[in-house]
């Protein structure tokens, strides 16, 4: 029961972590603008590094053919008016390929396009929950007032359950209550250069690599290129989901080893208990042993008898432990809300180890029983 509960809890935690990492896209690399401390602000001013900008995108596009596409995101300091809902939606401006990069699926209509950015189209895409709360105003071709402008709704996203693995690759964002607008920065993309104009600053850049095998190499190139363009000022953070996955798997291996050690201690304690019970049984059943030996039983017969009893004891205990493990795992899941995953090996491995424990710790009592002198055994009361 103990081993099964620990393995199931560990497996659930592993799949939860891996699921969140994979949802970010294992071929994607994220560069995020960070909140600057006072010390970092002084450093950025001295070295003239003004955060993520279109200049960074231009440099990255020329970096290597292994980069498929690059997208960008900027938080919009805008307020929707007249929505009559309790939820204040998050509004972001993004490039037309943002939906493709993050695996967003449409319920109705289309996502934003590069033409929307190029022509400064006043269009938007709504999250599913936001569209439902808007009721009649939340349909395709209707309009939403944001600040002093009316934005035409051209698409509505599929509803995502952010508590399950069916969510999008933005594992930390509730896309159901978001509004997506075109990234229409008033600047020439081909001649963009870093400057202090906040209108050119971005909150996030997403790079898609052509294959997983190239992600690590491209990440090294990106780190170097961004460091040079920002004059070695770390006013950004670079996140590589594939690297996070590798680190998580390494951590999980250590965690599994710890669980094996704890489970081994549990089995050791149980094995000692079995051995003590069987030794006590040998003492209590000396007369029975003597009678069997007197009618022709060999030492092997006696040893096999007590070893079979020990094995039967652990098999029954293992089956009961599996049933108790299901109860324990469900209790833990209901009480804590942790994800629990019961796999086949989570049931088979503890049961197999329990049987081995019975054989190992039952062997010594069986040998002791086989060595009992039959004459002395018959004299036992």
What average pLDDT score do residues 369-379 get? Answer: 76
Q: Out of 24-38, 81-95, 125-139, which region has the weakest mean confidence (pLDDT)?
A: 81-95
Report percent pLDDT > 90 for the chain. 9
Rounded to whole angstroms, how far apart are CA atoms 1 and 318?
8
The pLDDT score that the predictor gives to residue 27 is: 84
In the chain, % of residues over pLDDT 70: 88
The pTM score is: 0.63
pLDDT for 194 equals 53
Task: Please write the tens of the pLDDT for every residue from 124-160.
Answer: 999 988 888 876 777 888 888 888 888 999 999 998 8
Phi, psi of 36 (to 5 degrees): -85, 135
Residue with more model confidence, 136 or 46: 46
Q: Which pLDDT score, from 0 to 100, does residue 111 have?
A: 93
Domain residue ranges of the chain, discontinuous segments joined by +: 35-234, 248-379
Q: Please, which pLDDT band fits residue 185 given cuts at 50, 70 and 90? A: low
Contact 378, 322 (CB under 8 A): no
What proportions of the chain, in percent to the nearest 5, are helix, strand and coil? Answer: 55, 15, 30
pLDDT tens readout for residues 50-73: 778 888 888 888 888 999 899 899
For residue 234, pLDDT beyond 90: no
d(CA 106, CA 207): 22
**Angstrom distance (rounded) from CA 222 to CA 228:** 10
Chain position carrying tokens 């993309």: 189
Structure tokens given for 343: 């796999």
Q: How far apart are CA 6 and CA 321, in angstroms?
A: 13
């Amino acid at each position: 029961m103990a081993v099964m509960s620990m393995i199931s809890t560990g497996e659930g935690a592993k799949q939860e972590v891996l699921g969140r990492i994979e949802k970010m896209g294992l071929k994607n690399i994220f560069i995020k603008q960070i909140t600057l401390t006072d010390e970092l602000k002084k450093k950025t001013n001295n070295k003239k590094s003004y955060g993520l900008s279109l200049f960074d995108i231009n440099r990255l596009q020329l970096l290597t053919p292994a980069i498929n596409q690059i997208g960008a995101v900027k938080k919009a300091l805008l307020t929707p008016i007249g929505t009559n809902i309790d939820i204040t939606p998050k509004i972001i401006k993004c490039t037309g390929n943002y939906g493709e990069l993050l695996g967003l699926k449409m319920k109705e209509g289309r996502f934003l396009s590069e033409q929307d950015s190029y022509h400064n189209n006043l269009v938007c895409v709504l999250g599913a929950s936001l569209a439902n709360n808007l009721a009649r105003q939340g349909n395709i071709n209707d309009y939403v007032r944001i600040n002093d402008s009316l934005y035409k709704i051209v698409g509505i996203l599929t509803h995502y359950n952010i508590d399950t693995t069916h969510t999008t690759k933005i594992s930390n964002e509730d896309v159901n209550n978001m509004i997506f607008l075109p990234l229409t920065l008033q600047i020439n993309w081909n001649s963009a250069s870093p400057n202090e104009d906040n209108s050119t600053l971005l909150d996030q850049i997403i790079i898609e690599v052509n294959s997983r095998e190239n992600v690590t190499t491209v990440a090294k190139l990106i780190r170097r290129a961004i460091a040079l363009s920002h004059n070695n000022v770390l006013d950004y953070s670079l996140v590589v989901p594939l690297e996070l996955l590798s680190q998580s798997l390494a951590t999980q291996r250590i965690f599994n080893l710890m669980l094996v050690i704890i489970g081994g201690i549990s089995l050791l304690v149980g094995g000692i208990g079995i051995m003590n019970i069987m030794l006590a049984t040998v003492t209590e059943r000396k007369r029975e042993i003597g009678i069997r030996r007197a009618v022709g039983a060999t030492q092997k017969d006696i040893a096999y008898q007590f070893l079979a009893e020990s094995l039967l004891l652990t098999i029954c205990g293992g089956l009961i432990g599996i049933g108790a493990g299901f109860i324990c795992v469900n209790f833990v899941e209901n009480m804590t809300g942790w994800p629990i995953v019961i796999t086949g090996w989570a049931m088979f491995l503890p049961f197999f180890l329990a049987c081995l424990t019975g054989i190992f710790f039952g062997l010594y009592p069986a040998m002791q029983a086989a060595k009992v002198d039959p004459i002395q055994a018959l004299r036992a009361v």
